[in-house]
Amino acid sequence: MKKIQILGPGCPKCKLLTANAEQAARELGIEAEISKVEKISDIMKFGVMTTPALVVDGQVKSAGKVLSAEEIKKHLA
């Protein structure tokens, strides 16, 4: 099972990235645990300065932009 984390304070962009991650996992037919990391101190532990950010299995894959479901699929495959 993939572990996907969305880093961000809960802004509209963070919510859109979460929805896109859910869509990507669903379309690939993979099991994924998707969680949100909203505390600034927790986000900083990943070394991320701009949100939203996408973390897959503990590795930061993108920061500062909203990836489309198609872009996220590349990180999940």
What CATH number has the domain bearing residue 35?
Answer: 3.40.30.10
Radius of gyration of the chain (CA): 11
Question: Per the structure block, which two tokens stand in for 73?
Answer: 């699929």
pTM, to two decimals? 0.95
Q: What is the C-alpha separation between 77 and 65, in angstroms, rounded?
A: 20
Span 11-56, pLDDT tens digits: 999 999 999 999 999 999 999 999 999 999 999 999 999 999 999 9
Q: Which amino acids are annotated catalytic?
A: 11, 14
Question: Could you list the residue range(s) of the whole structural domain that residue 70 is in?
Answer: 2-76
Cβ contacts of 41 within 8 Å, gap of 6 or more: none
Position 77 scores a pLDDT of: 84
pLDDT tier at 74 (50, 70, 90 boundaries)?
very high
Average pLDDT, integer, range 60-77: 96
Position 28 scores a pLDDT of: 97
Number of domains making up the chain: 1
Give yes or no for a contact between 32 and 6, defined as CB atoms under 8 angstroms apart: no
